[in-house]
Amino acid sequence: MIAVSQVIATLRTTWRRGALLGLAGAALGACVADSVGAAPAPAAPAGPAWENFPVAAVGPAPDAAKKNVVVIDAGGTLTARARDRISYQHYQGNVEGGVKKILEDLYPELGAVANIKVMTAGGLGGSSGVTNAALYNVARAIDTQLARPDVDGVVVTTGTNVMEEDAYFFDLTVQSDKPVVVTGAMHQYGTFTYDAYTNLFSSIRLAASGKTTCFGTIVLLNDQFFAARDVTKTDGFRMDTFEARHYGALGVVNEDHVRVMRGTPRVMQCGTDAWKRPFDLAKTAPDKFARVDIAYGYIEASAATITGLAAAGAKGIVTAGHGPGNLSYLQQDAQKEAVKTGVLFVTTTRTGGEGVYDAAAPGIIGGGDLLPQKARILLQLGLTFSGDPEQIRAWFNTIGQAEFDLSGVHKQE
């Protein structure tokens, strides 16, 4: 039998390395309690994670005349610290108290905008460590909060590197049409150029205004807000890194002026059942998500960029081809063979512009102007909720390529 002291030492070492995180800490606490005769640690709360994320009020007592906004703290640079006040490329620790502490810095002015509660979720801060489970739990938390009659909107903080993917996942899965705004920061807390104050304040203003009801998920940074489908990060460091390619921002928040200059096509279905997307996460679990990968096209790109993904278990592959979505001659042959084995492809372009219109080719769907990383999310959800390639094709040609169509509005009598 292994001695308790050995177990404790092993768990301490593993915990420091971050491999077991809270689970190792809980196990260590139980071992220590048993060894010294203390009471065991309390059991974790029952129920799914999104129902047990802690929620705390911020600021003074709620004002019945103000809207109620829940800020979900899912991490990111917004709650990180830098090495010193000028080294925004060097991270060193996190803000004690997280988003709650940062929001408290914004009072009393924030109190004039909305009543605020903070939910601490985590999981979307370190962009390289984002998982299906984390996205799933935060999306379920958003819907759970918005289902409350006393909640008027939600703001979510995430890391910016894959924020556009986080936001598009929420856009496709959240079932409530109340405002959802995703925000973050490019520079850390304590630096001279910390941008989270204005990003948070403006995001809460936008959510409380109700002006993006039925827009789906919105991304706001640098006082501009964008549709989740269109937005992308264009630079690793600049404050104005988020853009919507050819389409531009939906609007701006300038002090107390919330200006919406254009909408998303979803507003045409506001108030109808058609507004909701078919990807209701209450009907699945993150371990059921299909595996989907991206293959990049370039000169003499190897067949292994496709055969390797298929062999590793990918159910779907998004190709980011050159020009209007073209692949190398080696990739083309590999794609044909993978289609025969049941792998479903979506063709996109690495240019970031107008791309691949669907030609109804068996096993290959045209991704239009969806960025490869956005097409991957839609394909993953499509394969998770349906095994019918033609149904998934229909989703890409409607949800994926949503556009305003007013051709039938004025009919001749």
DSSP string, 153-176: EEEEE--STTHHHHHHHHHHH---
Torsion of CA 208, 214, 216, 217, to 10 degrees: 0
Assess whether 120 carries a catalytic annotation: no
| CATH 3.40.50.1170 residue window(s) in the chain | 49-275
The better pLDDT of the pair 389, 352 is held by: 389
How confident is the model at residue 413, as a pLDDT?
A: 52
Kindly report, residue by residue over 288-324, the tens digit of the pLDDT. Answer: 999 999 999 999 999 999 999 999 999 999 999 999 9
Task: State pTM to two decimals.
Answer: 0.87
Q: What is the mean pLDDT of the chain?
A: 88
How confident is the model at residue 38, as a pLDDT?
A: 39
List 77, 79, 157, 349, catalytic entry:
77
Contacts of 405 (CB under 8 A, 6+ apart): 268
Kindly report, residue by residue over 133-170, the tens digit of the pLDDT. Answer: 999 999 999 999 999 999 999 999 999 999 999 999 99
When pLDDT is averaged across residues 331-345 and rounded to a whole number, the result is 97
24 has a pLDDT exceeding 50: no
pLDDT > 90 in the chain, percent: 71
- What's 86's DSSP letter? T
Lowest mean per-residue pLDDT among 29-43, 96-110, 371-385? 29-43
How confident is the model at residue 411, as a pLDDT?
A: 63
| CATH 3.40.50.40 residue window(s) in the chain | 290-398
Kindly report, residue by residue over 236-259, the tens digit of the pLDDT. Answer: 989 899 999 888 999 999 999 999
Torsion of CA 363, 367, 371, 373, to 10 degrees: -30
Kindly report, residue by residue over 46-72, the tens digit of the pLDDT. Answer: 678 888 999 999 999 999 999 999 999
Selected from 3.40.30.10, 3.40.190.290, 3.40.50.40, 3.30.70.890, the CATH number assigned to the domain covering 290-398 reads 3.40.50.40
Kindly report, residue by residue over 193-214, the tens digit of the pLDDT. Answer: 999 999 999 999 999 999 999 9
**Topology of domain 49-275, CATH:** Rossmann fold (3.40.50)
Exposed / middle / buried, residue 214 (Cβ in 10 Å: 0-12, 13-18, 19+): middle
The better pLDDT of the pair 402, 333 is held by: 333
Q: Are 120 and 141 in contact (CB under 8 A)?
A: no
Torsion of CA 225, 318, 314, 171, to 10 degrees: 20
For 261-408, strand residue ranges (E) read: 292-296, 316-321, 344-349, 364-366
Q: By three-state DSSP, how is residue 206 classified? A: helix
The better pLDDT of the pair 186, 381 is held by: 381
Q: Give CA–CA dist 364/388, Å, rounded.
A: 13
20 has a pLDDT exceeding 80: no
Contacts of 128 (CB under 8 A, 6+ apart): 161
